[in-house]
Structure 1
Amino acid sequence: MCQRGIKVTHVSKGSSSTKIQRFIPLANGLTDNMKSFAVFLLVLRYLSVSHGCTCMEGPQQFPAVQIDAGQGNVVMTDGNNYAYFLLGSQWYKMGSLNLKHVSVGPAGIWGVDLNNRVYKYVAGSFVFANGESLQQVDAGGDGQVVGVTDTSTIHCLKSTIASDYRKQSTLSWTTITGGLMYFSCSSKYGCWGVNSLQNIYFTRVTPSTCGISGWIQVDGLAVMVEIGTDGSVFVVTRGGEVFQRQGIDSSTPQGTSWTKIPMPSRINHVSYDRGNLWVVTDYGTILKCLY
């Protein structure tokens, strides 16, 4: 009887490279998409990425769409528009509310639904926060919450308001000059954004007032940008490539250059926290890259 499967070849790096082939059986009754997904994960287990970054299969909630990490916590949304929180190696569904984007950080857990309504996760459930309609929200700043609308206007919720929000009410957001389609902040070094032309920008946001230092355009093009708690910055390009910003410090918070991070597939989304680069591929799989 012929067994269906795939040969996976692993090449170990070093002075004496060795090829190891394994035959991995595939179960009967799988759809083509399920087979592709299974093969991708099997191949991934034997893949090491250079530049000091090793990627492995992360906890799966297939198909993943978006992921965010901060202060040791990780949240995500899937293709069914549900939000999940990672505990150990297991994803736990955060209620039945449909969300397209979720973020975790010093300001707590915030999300936006399919109608661009904003919510904060309080005592086990998402509480509606009236006052502004956003398509993307970020809670990674120094207590403030930022976000952008579907018309690229930029808004900020002061740190005192964001941290104190507990029950449904109307919030007063501060409008920031400029236009972005994605915005991400950190408590260290500042905030980064990309506009509809894929241009990349840097600014500093004062948490208590939502005032900014002015926009600095950074070289390169991207469709999304994420800054980690430690100030590390990663972008994803339209072609699904990942780059990290180099040369970031207190005197040059916008950095000096980009370094490409090789990946096994086209990438849709990334987030970085505490040495881990969390990645969502175009397959809808989650990678955890030690960096």
Structure 2
Amino acid sequence: MLVLVACLRKLKVRSKQFCLILLDIDAGQGMVVLTDKNSSAFLLSRSSWSKLGSVSLKHVSVGPAGIWGVDQQNEVYKFVASDFVPTYGLELKHVDAGGQGQVIGVAKSDRIHCLTANKASSIKEIMHWSTSSVTDLLIYISCAPTGCWGVNAQQSIFFTVNLCLQSGSWNQVDGEAVNVEVGSDGNVFVVNRLGLLYERTGISDQVPQGTGWKKIEMSVKIKHASYDLGYLWLVTEEGFIVKCTK
């Protein structure tokens, strides 16, 4: 069972249960999307989940670039009108649509690829992605207009202000995490291998990568976090969704 919960520092059940088992969740542009164990995509409308399109997807992302997804074969899809349409040119296991209109993707090789805003807004099916030659390949990435954050297979955390990921632009940040999420306003959250949740502190225009981490005390272990417009969306290890107000 998947439960939508609202919380302020403590978890408080406030609404109905949904018969979903979650794979992942993403928030951006005032929207929240997720995929379930059956590879179905859903969009949150008020307090209920509506099925999004007809394509089976293992991962979805929403942001200024729109709604994008990846299926089990690592084929990339863009949501157009009322359904997901395939794009061709690159296979990716993870995409993020949260930057300044561009889409960032992670290939099976863990190499990072970038689709510029002009190309991402096109309705053409064939997409031409550029490649980042980062020293440490990344398994997970999240972008905002303020920059991109990533995590590699060794759980190291990286940051770049260069949204098209040019060579040598990534800087390692202190700490360890299995995934990282940055909101459109630059707020950053990570989850580590122990299921603990942390928020990045000290972020400013002068220090966009921040200066430290603040642990957010939770009564349950967290698997994934996503943040947008003052709301923090969490997925627990038991498959619950927790909605928090920052």
Q: What TM-score comes out, normalization by structure 1 length?
A: 0.78
Larger relative helix fraction: 1
Residues 48/141 of structure 1: CA separation in 2 closer, same or farther (3 Å cut): closer
Q: Does residue 190 in structure 1 map to residue 150 in structure 2?
A: no
Matches within 5 A, 1:1-291: 49=9, 56=13, 60=18, 62-164=20-122, 166-167=123-124, 169-178=125-134, 179-187=137-145, 189-206=146-163, 211=166, 214-291=169-246
Partner SS, residue 52 of structure 2:
strand
Q: In the alignment, residue 100 of structure 1 is paired with which amino acid?
A: K
Whether the 8 Å contact between 1:56 and 1:288 is mirrored in structure 2 is: no
Alpha-carbon distance in structure 2 between the residues aligned to 1:58 and 1:193: 33
Structure with higher Rg: it is 1
Residue 212 and residue 244 in structure 1: after superposition, are their counterparts in 2 closer, same or farther (change >3 A)? Answer: farther
How many aligned positions are there? 243
The offset of 1:55, in angstroms, is 5.9
Contiguous gaps of at least 5 residues in structure 1: 1-33
Give the whole-Å Cα distance in 2 for the aligned partners of 1:200 and 1:106. 24
Q: For the residues of structure 1 that align with 2:57 and 2:15, how far apart are their CA atoms?
A: 22
Q: Which runs of 4+ in 1 moved over 6 A?
A: none
Shift in Å at residue 57 of structure 1? Answer: 5.5
CA 106–58 in structure 1, closer or farther in 2 if over 3 Å, else same: farther
CA offset at residue 109 of structure 1? Answer: 0.2
Give the distance between the partners of 1:146 and 1:92, measured in 2 at CA. Answer: 26
CA–CA separation in structure 2 for the residues paired with 1:269 and 1:55: 19
Q: CA deviation at 1:268?
A: 1.2
Task: Tell me the distance in 2 between the aligned counterparts of 1:92 and 1:212.
Answer: 40
> Separation in 2 of the partners of 1:109 and 1:125?
10
CA pair 143-159 structure 1, distance change in 2 beyond 3 A:
same
SS in 2 for 1:132: coil
Q: Distance in 1 between matches of 2:231 and 2:199?
A: 13
Identity across the alignment (%): 50
Mark the runs of 5 or more structure 2 residues left unpaired by the alignment: none
- Secondary structure of the 1:161 match is helix
